[in-house]
Amino acid sequence: MSRSARASAAAIPPEEAESASASASGSSAERSLRLLALLANEGRALTLAELAAQLGLPKGTAHRICTQLLSTGFLARDVDERSFTVGPALRRLAFDTLNHGVVRGLRHEVLSALVREVGETCNLTTLDGAQVLYLDRVEAQWPLRLTLDVGSHVPLHCTASGKLFLALMPAKARDAFIDGLPLERMTPNSITSADALRAECEAIAKQGHSRDNEEFIAGLVAVAVPVRDAAGAVRAALAVHAPTARMSMDDALQRIDALKAAAQKMTGLL
């Protein structure tokens, strides 16, 4: 360092140097948050070039941010390793945020009231990568019931909530999801053909609700409706399920109106 540079550095008061450092750090943090928000809003993987262009950043800067976020788990590589998607740490943050404090309690009360009305177990789920994530659940007081803990994951292609999320995606995103799903046969009723799943999704999109007709677990049926935010985007799903010994599919469909009413109440609690 030259004598003049050392003199200039020495002339900067410690509090100003600290402020400049905080400003630089804040700018980096702000860019990282903007990048994560962009990916979350797009709902698909983006390449480095797309991220840089949409954020107005040099590719070198975007690459540095992505490298940092990859190392902390907030970003992940997509199947195409040139593209980036949201990582497990960001999903965990979203999950914890959705289940935080007073709002979580209010959502849980809506779910509890729904269970009292329909008489069967109901759950609130969201899309987590290529799976369904259980955000909340209220059990009906029956000796015969399926228990899935909050935080559990279930497949997209053979559950009422999963097929609903697929059906209400933009067609291009839906096709990409379906092409990447394993479509495992969970029961004799599971859909294992991509074409059949696409046809099912088109029907669900038209009717506004979905069903699981013993596709995930033999002897269990379910129906689900979307929960939309104030802007109309699908953020979650409300579902009711029960053993066929107690609730037929026709019985489940009769509970759709109650599910829709509860989903409307959830809109202001997202």
pLDDT digits (tens, 9 = 90+) for 121-168: 999 999 988 899 888 889 887 765 566 666 788 999 999 999 999 999
Task: Assess contact for 85 and 45: CB atoms under 8 A.
Answer: yes
65-83 pLDDT, tens digit each: 999 999 998 998 876 678 8
Concatenate the DSSP letters of all residues of the chain into one string: --HHHHHHHHHS-HHHHHHHHHHHHHHHHHHHHHHHHHHHHHTS-EEHHHHHHHHT--HHHHHHHHHHHHHHTSEEE-SSTTEEEE-HHHHHHHHHHHT-HHHHHHHHHHHHHHHHHH-SEEEEEEEETTEEEEEEEE--S-SS-----TT-EE-STTSHHHHHHHHTS-HHHHHHHHHH------STT----HHHHHHHHHHHHHHS-EEEESSSSTTEEEEEEEEE-TTS-EEEEEEEEEETTT--HHHHHTTHHHHHHHHHHHGGG-
Indicate if the pLDDT at residue 21 is higher than 50. no
pLDDT of residue 23: 40
> Would you list the domain boundaries of the chain?
3-85, 99-269
Provide the token pair at 199. Answer: 């046809």
Question: What is the homologous superfamily of the domain 99-269 according to CATH?
Answer: GAF domain (3.30.450.40)
Strands 83-86, 46-47: pairing kind? antiparallel
Check whether domain 3-85 has CATH 1.10.3720.10, yes or no: no
CA distances from 248 to 73, 129, 252, 264 (A): 43, 31, 6, 25
pLDDT band, very low/low/confident/very high, at 204 (cuts 50, 70, 90) = very high
Share of the chain above pLDDT 70, in %: 84
pLDDT of residue 22: 37
